[in-house]
Structure 1
Amino acid sequence: MDKKLEGLSSSDVAARVARGQVNVDASVKTRSIKQIVVSNVCTLFNAINLILACFVFITGSYKNMLFMIVIVCNTAIGIIQEVRSKRTTDRLSIIASSKVDVMRDGARQEISVDEVVLGDIIVLGRGDQVPSDSVVVHGTCDVNESLLTGESKLVRKEAGSELMSGSFVNAGTVYAQVTHVGADNYAAKISAEAKEHKAVNSEIMNSLNGIIRFVSIIIFPLGAILFAREYFTGAYIELNDAILSSVAALVGMIPEGLILLTSTVLAVAVVRLSRSKVLVQQLYCIETLARVDTLCLDKTGTITTGKMEVDRVVTLGDCDEGEADGAFYSIADADEDPNETAQAIIDYYQDVIPQPGAVRHSRRRTKPSDRSVKKYGIERVIPFSSDKKWSGAVFEGGASYVMGAAQFVLGKDYATVKNRVEELAQNARVMVLARVDGFDDEGRIAGRPQPLALIAIKDQIRSTAAQTIQYFIEQGVDLKVISGDDPRTVSGIAQIVGIPHADAYVDATTLLSDAALENAATCYQVFGRVTPEQKKKLVLALQKEGHTVAMTGDGVNDVLALKASDCSVAMAAGSDAARNVAQLVLVNNDFASMPKVVAEGRRAINNLQRSASLFLVKTVLSMVLAVCFIILPWQYPFQPIQMTLISAFTIGLPSFVLALEPNKDRIKGKFLVNVIVRSLPGSITAILAVLGLNIVSYTTLGLDYAQVSTMCVLVTAWVGLLLIVRLSFPFTPIRAALIVVVIGGVILGSTVFPSLFGIEPFTQSMVVAFAVAAAIAVPVFNLLYQAFGSWHAKRQEELV
């Protein structure tokens, strides 16, 4: 054995391990369970509610602490969802092969990829993934580097050639010496940017955080002023009562159920998508994808499967089809270790070779007609070489053929087939079959090659690609194809799957400045020969124009663009770097899953917008009333437990039912604006009703606090019911049943558990006052709802 192929000795390996020169896993790690728990528990939202609960605890009125149940549920759901996502992510295979063969102490042995050390001699054959950057020391092979460069063309490697980690050996066997390990590997360096934290770009999250920040700024000063006004001035109010009414005002300002609702709805979407083999690694990316107006697609692995297939065989002159088919198949099959191209030819012809006991199936139009394809015996094989770009064979009987790149096979006679080759090469690789006189002792062609046929081999397009592309077109999403391949080939494939204006393509090597690239981003739909850095700049250029951009990819070359995009989608079979940085991972590697993700996002957002308005009614109501009752001489008319009754039946239950219904409408407008517009009619109506009841009850009817509080609770519930009815149009059996349950729940709580919720028996004057307030509330609410709705619809039309 060659001394240089004996590999390291055991002592050499031990020394390198001691120095840390070992191929440790440098991939992105998911957060620990402890980190997940801490981040979900220690939030400003939870802190505010905990402080309020402590004030209630001091009063000894423990029933008024029931609002904390919602807080606990919200936190638990957040933790469970993230832990579930973590475990699913951790189960994904980080590298295609977890074992590798190495030469150590002169013997070949199998070890884990994370046991490889610097200087190891690794043995790589067809189908193996290169675990570390290496240099070939013996043998030759064809390597697929598409995950790294985006270029699907095979690269020939021989002694002295560099092998990049993450690439795959397509054909041949080599011995290679490891030059980098762990974080020093090429793939690890490119994906280093993926490890940096990226803020979540979610309009819903930003809106909710904005509400919480606003509430947190005013809640305690407002609460302190309200408490001081009630306890230290005006009519005498006991300390505990002043605390409870002040806390009730503050609890009402916090849309705690909205946070829970949002987490729950998105968690349900995550579960539904997981059944469709879609892993959601970031909860709010579902919303982002539903808002996307520009989708950037990587060709390999997204539109195509990453495999090759024969598109067609074209005979030239008077060549017999049977001769061409037999020669193509026999030459490809003669290769002991066929590369990707040869394997595509073998697969193309295999189903027309009669097999013992096999049933002949009908074939696609591109397959040979129903005729037997003869497989010739081989006397001599001339293997493929990256230098000569062809392979050949001498068949039994003496006939000799070559198959390869037409320019290299035909030489000066290439002009005779040039036009036909270029026509086929629009979206495929083209090889020529030629009959020759034979080969000399060194394998060179003897005689003048006579071209017989052309075979076009193209990327295998996913069967569902065209349908999926059509879906996004119908949804008004602009599609861009970004690839490292030849732009003409990419354009041809894009046209096949129906991408609009796919004939508008550009070679990214001609875009020499950022300005040229930014201009191209708006002018072209197809980009070829794009570098990883250019992919990122294209995404940023589109975002600069105001677009919400999603990016799909599967290779290390896609990582920078995936990270920069608003929503990133990766294939599970792709590189570990792409999977780690992506917010969504298609576990079944099927781009056809994308419409389901968009549909789930739309259902979640549209329903959340509708349901969130119920929560903001309470928030706006509580804020305005808190300010009013600082000025008015009476006690704030609600207790925390009463707000729980209102929240449970007129907000919580209906919001969850409405939020989980089917809804595929397109997203329109801003989340917060949509929610506020729907909530203001209810808020204004409830504020007017509560203030009116307080004024009349205290100045005219002579009612006490408990009686006034009872009417205020029920009239607020009544206004909430009016909003639920409007949000339920058009009625369905479920929505009708919801309204019945809401009415029944409020009546049940008020009659069966009056002491729990502080509900007093109605007197005649209370009945009259409540009836008048409820009756007036109906036209006022409907008038406001129609006015705000008309204004909002007109505003949206102006923004389109």
Structure 2
Amino acid sequence: MEFKDKPQPIEMKWYVKTPAKRNKNKDTLAKLWQDKIDQLRNNAPKGSIKALVDFYQENNRDQNYLPVKICFALYGLLTKYQTKQRNGFTSVCTPISEESLEVFCFMIQTDRSFQDIIETMNISTICHDFQFNLHLANEDENVRAMMTTIVLFLSQNYYKFSNWREYIKPKYHCIIEEPANEAQQEEIPEGRFSKDAYLPTEGHFYDVDVQTILTTFRTDLEKGLSSMEIDQRREKYGTNELPKPPKVNVFKMLWNQITDFIVMVLIVGTIVSLCIEEWIAAGMLIVVIVSNIVIGFTQEFKAERALEALENADVIHVNVIREGVTDIITADQLVPGDVVVLEEGNTVPADLRLCQTHHLEVVEVLLTGEMNPIEKSTDLIKTPNVPVGDRKNIAFMSTSVVKGRGVGVVVATGKVTEIGKISSELNKKIDKTMPLKRKLANLGKWLVLLAGILCLIVVGLLVLWLFIKNGSMTWDDTVSIIKIGLSLAVSVIPEGLVAVVTITMSIGVSRMSKQHVIIRNLPVVEGLGSVTTICTDKTGTLTQGRMTMTEIRQGPNLYNFKTINGQFKIYNSIDSEISQIPSESIDILNVCAMCNNSSTKVNEKGETEMIGDPTEIALYNCALHCGITKSNYVNNGNIFVTEVPFDSDRKRMSVLYKDNNNNGTIFAKGACESILSICSSNFDGKPLNQDILKDIENQMNSMAQNGSRVLACAIGKINMNITPITEDNNTDIENRLMFLGLVGIVDPPRNESALAVKALKQAGIQVRIITGDHPKTAGAIAKQIGVIDPEDDVDQYIMTGNELLGMSEKALAEREPFPSVFARVSPEDKLTVVKALKRRGEVVAMTGDGVNDAPAIKSSNIGIAMGSGTDLTKQSADIVLLDDNFYNIVSTIKEGRRVFDNIMKFVMYLLSANSAEIWTMMICVACGQTPPFSAMMILWANLVVDIPPSICLGLDPPMSNIMERKPRDPNSNIFNWKKALIVLFQGMTMAIISISLFFMTLYIKPLAEFGGYDMPTGMTDERPNHSRTLAFISLSVIQLFHSFISKSITGPTISKDMFGNKYLLVGLVVSVLFLVAGIYIPYFNDIIEQYPLKWLDWLLILVAVLVHFVICETVKLVLRIASKKRESKYVLFHDDL
């Protein structure tokens, strides 16, 4: 079709950002538009659609932002009237369709929200909806001009629409070309709505061709960027660095410790003590406060510093073309549009759109979890929403080049790379407060509330007593009442609870560090005890993270290769160890060594390491262990002639060597079908027939089902005197070869993986694999290590990423049976699985080592990273396994359960001891008697009686059945009413015994004179002071021996494990020594208000301890009898308690 006149496009209106002057609120505007659209949807007479322009200008004046919902509705209305009217076989446009096109042309130039929704659409969809080609065929010059305007506007403002020739038919190109050329020469107006029409900062870029990329980024493959352009882009886009998490603020860490609820209460108590001039009591409280703060701060600070030492500080160098010269720079200096040259062994420095490739293969395991190399190309991918792992024309930041060469344009740097996006998400704060921490905080609040109520009651009673007795109150009476109230408050609040919990967790952390485990977040120690599901990546976590050749199959012959305790061993088909491969199979190893492009290099640490395709490295390492190397073969007089490289079409690789007699040997490896297609005979010389081919197919399927990557090997001989072969003429070598056999390559499970899975299952914890690897490979590994039972159907427990597409968290959470293996999943899928499990009520620990694991690790209840993993992953985790030993997860869970059990032991102990002090104070006040204990005495008891045994209880060894119990419910109450009754009963027992001694020695003369005593310095009233001291010491000693009773609520105290905790014995001795020092050291006993006791007093104390022991053991026996029908063994804490 020819056009007489080429229409000039309508003058473009570039949108300039201005402050929004909203003359109507959002809801009113949306309603106006919705009513107008509804009115036109079913009946749109001529002229009414065009009137929408006037409607917009009237109601959106100076606003330029329609609600997004209205934009979609408006788009739907405009496309509704782009109908075709048939005239014979000719398609024509209706007048209404031309009007809607005019509105569309207006909206894409005017409204920012409308522009944004266009950016989300596919150009082929828009082209079809508005009949671009049909309108260009219109004889009406005005319509063609509008269409030209739309095409130019889209192509110059949206990079994915930039190649308008793709969607406009060639016969209409002449209409657009001249205006397009003129528009390209125009200076781009400042403030134009596009983020950067020629240099987009975000996008997929796999769906545009190479020329469009070069045009879009204004770069050239041969010249690269100019220095001026580089400086401008670096100023605009910054350096090519991943977002770093905010450094831990030391002052914030300290502030978090200070603002702990119980610490704040103690600070208030200190202020009150200072106000009433109780200097010593205030000093003691300050000691407790400082101890709490220092212990918590020190542990958190040490964990952060330990992780910082693990961070990778390697600097990546890049070959880049700039101003026509190839230069080497550091990766952080790259900018969008830079031309990067990739070579084997390189780490990809940014997201690149590949423009040239030569047998380029990249391992993307850190991003996708896929261990096998991905062959890259430059081909345009037109499929929408392509997963990251299938974008063959993009090389992603931090992935590794293992083969070939390539040239690419930097299309994304820093935080807008695929890894950068993940990193940005990880830096968002997620609250991971553990249930125990919350519950202990709530317990502290309840205790403070209780202290307040009791103080009011006691103070009220005391005031009442004083008015009844004296009729008035003096200032001294007021101070005395405040002191008694303070003493009661000190009795109720377990000052040492925060410190002891922190110390116990810190000790657990210390024990874990000896097993090469770093705990970054202290509260997760106890959270480990409630884990119900462990989600784990496969590659590098359950497996060794490196490809290994494990078997050879040649007809009936089978050879397995294993590394046991660092020793390489060979086993035959009957699993007997042999010293070397038999001669008839040695040629397979020759193929593994010769048909191989892996090589060695010396890294920055001076160590020799192999580089190349992981599969080829595995093949070469196996041949090397069997004594076969390429260098030995060459040293024996063989010369390399040519190589027919691997490509995705042929799926094989061949090399040719010749000896001194010009006899050539061809070595070939590749996919089984491909190798068989060039073979004419079997390894034994027999022709390949259907029976042999069937056997080979069966062997291949058997190996594949076990998770192996299967390669076939072949060899051939050629007389090069008869058939000359050169580098340029090598296609004839792959002909009539001899099939040698099959080799299996796997990423083998770690030795400890199966043991760990077994131990976790025994502990009631389900292990689930979430990997980007192939379903068959993942399923095979799952069976090998016991994630899926051998008798179960693997397919029933495997779910793929494609199946997860479009599935909500709720739908996945309700799926039964819930999959044990998720394969071919993206980082987003891993996150979905973790969230679905949490929705099911599971407490989830997520382990991994790659960037693709990091979002799920961050979102899980407890994140676990491997020490060899990426910095990004370790920064996301709560726990880091330094030696990558998966079995250490079992150890950490065992330690977590132990820590929780021990915390519960000393919580019960502390609350029993404090309740005894409360009962003592309350009973005395109720009887009108001045309480025997001052605030100073209670503080002294809390320091020397409560804390040492509590810390030692935190060191109690784990119960023998600790890993046979089911995980505890994290939502269960830490302290229910039954436990409260036991605590109150035990406390009352101690209090009654102590008060009995107090009153008996105070009012019964024979008992008062029982011990005989001398006056200590500064004391004027002997009998009350003796009684107070005896009551205080008796209560303190009973509490010390009660620490043994607290090791179990229902279990007998006298057992073989009674003295199993040597630290508790030491703590008991230390506490007794402090008590004795407080009684008998002159002047010091004045400070803590104690009175020397005689040996007969200690006899009374011993009787008191025995009475308390008998009462508590009798109650335990009753509880055991009551629960005998439900349980055959004693447990630490029965559910009913």
Shorter-chain TM-score tier: 0.7 to 0.9
Q: What are the residue-to-residue correspondences of 1:78-227 with 2, within 5 Å?
A: 78-94=296-312, 97-140=315-358, 141-159=360-378, 161-227=393-459
CA distance in 2, matches of 1:114, 1:791: 70
User: Deviation per CA, 1:207-229, whole angstroms, max 9, x where unpaired?
Assistant: 21111121233434543453454
Decide whether the 8 Å contact of 2:448 with 2:492 is kept in 1. no
SS of structure 1 residue aligned to 2:505: helix
Match of 1:683 in 2: 987
1:469 aligns with 2:757: yes
Match of 1:361 in 2: none
- Stretch moving more, 513-522 or 535-544: 513-522
SS of structure 1 residue aligned to 2:275: helix
The structural deviation recorded for 1:430 is: 0.5
Q: What are the residue-to-residue correspondences of 1:236-251 with 2, within 5 Å?
A: 238-251=477-490
SS of structure 1 residue aligned to 2:831: helix
- Stretch moving more, 595-604 or 622-631: 622-631
Match of 2:546 in 1: 307
Q: What are the residue-to-residue correspondences of 1:529-608 with 2, within 5 Å?
A: 529-608=824-903
Higher relative contact order (CA 8 A, sep 6+): 1
CA distance in 2, matches of 1:300, 1:154: 14
Which amino acid in the other structure matches residue 240 of structure 1? V
Instruction: Give me the TM-score of the superposition, normalised by structure 2.
Output: 0.63
The alpha-carbon distance between structure 1 residues 79 and 110, as it changes in their structure 2 partners (threshold 3 A), is farther
Match of 1:743 in 2: 1072
- Stretch moving more, 614-623 or 757-766: 757-766
Decide whether the 8 Å contact of 2:343 with 2:403 is kept in 1. yes
The structural deviation recorded for 1:583 is: 0.7
Decide whether the 8 Å contact of 2:623 with 2:629 is kept in 1. no
CA distance in 1, matches of 2:628, 2:1107: 86
- Stretch moving more, 140-149 or 520-529: 520-529
Decide whether the 8 Å contact of 1:326 with 1:373 is kept in 2. no
The alpha-carbon distance between structure 1 residues 533 and 736, as it changes in their structure 2 partners (threshold 3 A), is same
Q: What are the residue-to-residue correspondences of 1:63-78 with 2, within 5 Å?
A: 63-65=280-282, 66-78=284-296
Which amino acid in the other structure matches residue 304 of structure 2? K
The structural deviation recorded for 1:754 is: 2.6
Match of 1:351 in 2: 625
Which amino acid in the other structure matches residue 718 of structure 1? V
The alpha-carbon distance between structure 1 residues 614 and 343, as it changes in their structure 2 partners (threshold 3 A), is same
CA distance in 2, matches of 1:101, 1:626: 80
CA distance in 2, matches of 1:740, 1:43: 31
Match of 2:643 in 1: 381
Decide whether the 8 Å contact of 1:95 with 1:576 is kept in 2. no
The structural deviation recorded for 1:75 is: 0.5
Match of 2:276 in 1: 59
- Stretch moving more, 108-117 or 620-629: 620-629
Decide whether the 8 Å contact of 1:310 with 1:344 is kept in 2. yes
SS of structure 1 residue aligned to 2:518: strand
SS of structure 1 residue aligned to 2:743: strand
Instruction: Give me the TM-score of the superposition, normalised by structure 1.
Output: 0.88
- Stretch moving more, 574-583 or 526-535: 526-535
Alignment partner of 2:668 out of 402, 421, 426:
402
The structural deviation recorded for 1:607 is: 2.5
Which amino acid in the other structure matches residue 331 of structure 1? C
5+ residue gaps, structure 2, are: 1-218, 380-392, 558-582, 601-610, 679-689, 719-724, 1009-1020, 1048-1052, 1128-1132
The structural deviation recorded for 1:330 is: 1.1
CA distance in 2, matches of 1:676, 1:191: 47
User: Deviation per CA, 1:140-177, whole angstroms, max 9, x where unpaired?
Assistant: 42111122222222111233611122322222233322
The structural deviation recorded for 1:698 is: 7.8
SS of structure 1 residue aligned to 2:541: coil
The structural deviation recorded for 1:306 is: 1.5
Decide whether the 8 Å contact of 2:598 with 2:617 is kept in 1. no
The structural deviation recorded for 1:663 is: 2.4
The alpha-carbon distance between structure 1 residues 419 and 59, as it changes in their structure 2 partners (threshold 3 A), is same
Decide which structure has greater helix share.
Answer: 1
Match of 2:171 in 1: none
- Stretch moving more, 419-428 or 609-618: 609-618
User: Deviation per CA, 1:22-56, whole angstroms, max 9, x where unpaired?
Assistant: 22331323422122122222333222111111111
Decide whether the 8 Å contact of 1:678 with 1:785 is kept in 2. no
The structural deviation recorded for 1:718 is: 3.1
Q: What are the residue-to-residue correspondences of 1:335-346 with 2, within 5 Å?
A: 338-346=612-620
Q: What are the residue-to-residue correspondences of 1:752-771 with 2, within 5 Å?
A: 752=1081, 753-760=1084-1091
Match of 2:746 in 1: 458
CA distance in 2, matches of 1:673, 1:791: 20
The structural deviation recorded for 1:589 is: 2.7
Whose Rg is larger? 2
Match of 2:798 in 1: 506
Decide whether the 8 Å contact of 1:501 with 1:525 is kept in 2. no
The alpha-carbon distance between structure 1 residues 475 and 374, as it changes in their structure 2 partners (threshold 3 A), is farther
1:434 aligns with 2:700: no
Decide whether the 8 Å contact of 1:322 with 1:373 is kept in 2. no
1:659 aligns with 2:923: no
Which amino acid in the other structure matches residue 387 of structure 1? D
Which amino acid in the other structure matches residue 722 of structure 1? F
User: Deviation per CA, 1:445-492, whole angstroms, max 9, x where unpaired?
Assistant: 754555321111111332333343343344343222222212221222
- Stretch moving more, 660-669 or 123-132: 660-669
The structural deviation recorded for 1:693 is: 5.6
- Stretch moving more, 584-593 or 312-321: 312-321
Which amino acid in the other structure matches residue 590 of structure 2? G
* Identity between Structure 1 and Structure 2 (%): 22
Decide whether the 8 Å contact of 2:547 with 2:615 is kept in 1. yes
1:717 aligns with 2:1009: no
CA distance in 1, matches of 2:866, 2:550: 25
Which amino acid in the other structure matches residue 780 of structure 1? I
CA distance in 1, matches of 2:1110, 2:886: 51
User: Deviation per CA, 1:224-252, whole angstroms, max 9, x where unpaired?
Assistant: 45345435753566333322221121122
1:276 aligns with 2:515: yes
The alpha-carbon distance between structure 1 residues 678 and 173, as it changes in their structure 2 partners (threshold 3 A), is farther
SS of structure 1 residue aligned to 2:592: helix
The structural deviation recorded for 1:770 is: 7.0
The structural deviation recorded for 1:88 is: 2.1
Match of 1:321 in 2: 585
Match of 1:23 in 2: 240
User: Deviation per CA, 1:407-453, whole angstroms, max 9, x where unpaired?
Assistant: 33435987663222111112100111234688994747754555321
CA distance in 2, matches of 1:355, 1:156: 27
The alpha-carbon distance between structure 1 residues 226 and 460, as it changes in their structure 2 partners (threshold 3 A), is same
- Stretch moving more, 405-414 or 611-620: 405-414
Which amino acid in the other structure matches residue 1086 of structure 2? S
CA distance in 2, matches of 1:477, 1:109: 54
Decide whether the 8 Å contact of 2:537 with 2:848 is kept in 1. yes
The structural deviation recorded for 1:349 is: 0.4
CA distance in 2, matches of 1:447, 1:411: 9
5+ residue gaps, structure 1, are: 359-370
Aligned CA-pair RMSD:
3.8
Decide whether the 8 Å contact of 2:591 with 2:714 is kept in 1. no
- Stretch moving more, 90-99 or 399-408: 90-99
- Stretch moving more, 334-343 or 386-395: 334-343
Match of 2:258 in 1: 41
The structural deviation recorded for 1:714 is: 2.2
Which amino acid in the other structure matches residue 69 of structure 1? V
SS of structure 1 residue aligned to 2:234: helix
Match of 1:731 in 2: 1059
- Stretch moving more, 538-547 or 648-657: 538-547
The structural deviation recorded for 1:650 is: 2.6
The alpha-carbon distance between structure 1 residues 407 and 355, as it changes in their structure 2 partners (threshold 3 A), is closer
